[in-house]
Structure 1
Amino acid sequence: MFKKQTFETNVYMKLFRLAYSFLAGNLCIFLVNLPFFLVVVTTAIDSRNSLFLLGSILFFLPAILTTLACFANDIQGNDVPVKTFFQLYRGLWKKSMYLGGPGYLVIVISYVDILFFIHQPMGKWVIPFFFLLIILAISLILNNFYLQVKNPKISIRKIYHVSLYYVLKKWYISLLNAVLLVLLLIVMVVKPQFGFLLTPNLFLGLVYLNCKQTYRELNQ
């Protein structure tokens, strides 16, 4: 009547594998973001050090794309998630620069402009525009990455066209994803012990689910 469970199919073993994949994924993200981690633990939280943080965040782009690819390929059941992560990372880091690099430059330039205009009389009128650009850039990066992992054979130009359309069409989900990524980075800076080892897969998993909801009609 009841199917006998083997050791491998036991529910506790499945939970153990899920927890192992979760922690191993966070460890992989930590390892490929060592420059960012070193800047976080060696510099004070100060606007004068923010450009160092922004520079080291560049290494976060391939880590995000690789993590989303891991979710898309469902490596929770994989016996070697660390090996799979680095195999995907090696194959995707260049794509992450094409799909995330322009948005990253927009973020850096917008932040520098905010630092400049914050001391200017007209700053209160101009600064919100740059915050909007940063939100759009983050949303575009995340949408680009999701489309890449779900449709690896389509062109980069096509990815940008579709991504921008859905960033604007589903602006509320785009805003939520941008907030989630910013919160992840804040936790990493304020509480590195939690931000690097416990929260990356949690926040990026929510981003992945939000993107999946955004492109539900395309998936169908």
Structure 2
Amino acid sequence: MRLLGPASEEEMIAVFLRGELDSGRYGKKLRTLLARDRRTEDLLRRPDLGDVEANAYRRRLLEEHRAYERRDGLFGGFPQQVEWFRAALERDEVLDILYIDWDWWLELSGGTRRPRDAARRIVEAEGADATAAEHEPLAAALQTTPPPPELIAVTTTARTPLVLVEGHARLTAYALFPDYLPAKLEILLGVSDEMPRWCQF
């Protein structure tokens, strides 16, 4: 793993929301909130991080959508102070990222939280209600322009383990179809020695 340079919390928020916008589970709610506020999807798909008002709106949106500011739900116990970076991971490092400690991902992976185990169980038809075929377009999107949103992961200064914050369906697809992965994949990485307090770490 190589750190490429600093990133901002505003960038992480924008990438998180863009990823959720395309989610079958969360996209509808986000589009409803955007429509209510008379905002377009461009605010999430093509964010201008230099626009202070747009950054503030996205932060409010993530709070309403996922209780980010309150540090509740998915973000329960998430540290207030996190250093964000862009990082390049090799293929094996990408597939070593752990899922969150959430029932669905525990079931899919057989309790290990490892994407490779989830992929094996899906192929063997052991894992929940997921199929390999439905995941391939997510992996193939790595070769499109523009590419899919970056995975968002977090860790401590020891840099182990890496735990995924956003991008679980995509990471599962990459484990099922690793040939689509480039030699190095750029992700957003949050670092804090308080990260073990996060409820999903």
TM-score by length of 1: 0.28
Query: Which structure has more RCO (C-alpha within 8 Å, separation ≥ 6)?
Result: 2
Considering fraction of residues, name the structure with more helix: 1
**Higher strand proportion:** 2
